[in-house]
Amino acid sequence: MKNQVELGLVLSSSHPSGTGSFAYEGSFKIVIQNLAFQKQVSVWVQVGPVWKDILASYSHSLPENNEVWIAPASNSEGEFVAKYTVNGTTYWDNNGGMNYKFPQAFDEFAVLSGKNFPVVLGNASLFSNNLHINLGIQNLDFAKVVGIVFTPDNWITVQTAFAHWDHNMPSGLEVWTVDVPVGSATQIQFAAFYRVHGNEFWDNNFSSNYKVTPTSPQQWGGVA
């Protein structure tokens, strides 16, 4: 990871409350470099006219001495930045000075990925000899190539499958879909790629790759 702190993913979803309104659930995922045991990770967020800290809690470790921290969200948040204080220094991810904007969900799911994670796993399933994957893509340009590399035999052989545009989410993120037959494979490992503006971005589950079986689908949170 190039920076000390990077926004990973923001999730927002809603469901009918039974009273004619909607109940919201959401979370912020932040990726940090583990620079010391004592640290504070939070989201500095605008709620109405007030800015405040929403503290994050440790979730799990990642390769290369990185960690994922998660903070709760309620769909009342507006602009925000990721904040990491360690060894007397505070580091920020403020989206290149533009701040992030929380994806407001109404009656459907919304997601926002950080500037350093423009491709994220949506969900993946393996059913009836077919691999189905949805990916969330930041629309950095009309011309783009999205897909996965996958293996049915623990990387003895590797194949590439390209995705196609499916729909846009309320947050502006695009959903691209992969459908590919995989024969009688009982486990598929894969990583997603996104090529745009001469750059190539990956979601490889922080070097762990994704694993999907008929009984173990993968869900939103490709940067976790």
8 Å CB contact between 102 and 9: no
Residue 219 lies in a domain: no
Q: Which CATH number characterizes residue 63's domain?
A: 2.60.40.2440
d(CA 114, CA 2): 13
8 Å CB contact between 167 and 177: no
Same domain as 99, residue 37: yes
d(CA 130, CA 14): 30
Average pLDDT of span 161-170:
92
Tokens encoding 13:
């979803």
Of 113, 131, 160, the last residue of a domain is 113
Of 113, 145, 169, the last residue of a domain is 113
Q: Structure pTM?
A: 0.76
102-148: pLDDT as tens digits: 887 765 667 778 877 888 888 899 998 999 999 989 899 999 999 99
CB atoms within 10 A of CB 196: 19
In the chain, count H helices and then E strands: 0, 19
Which residues, at least 6 apart from 37, have a Cβ–Cβ distance to it below 8 Å? none
**Number of folded domains in the chain?**
2
Tokens encoding 219:
């869900």
In this prediction, residue 114 carries a pLDDT of: 81
27-81: pLDDT as tens digits: 899 999 999 999 999 999 999 899 999 999 999 898 889 999 999 988 788 899 9
Domain that holds residue 44: 5-113
Same domain as 123, residue 108: no
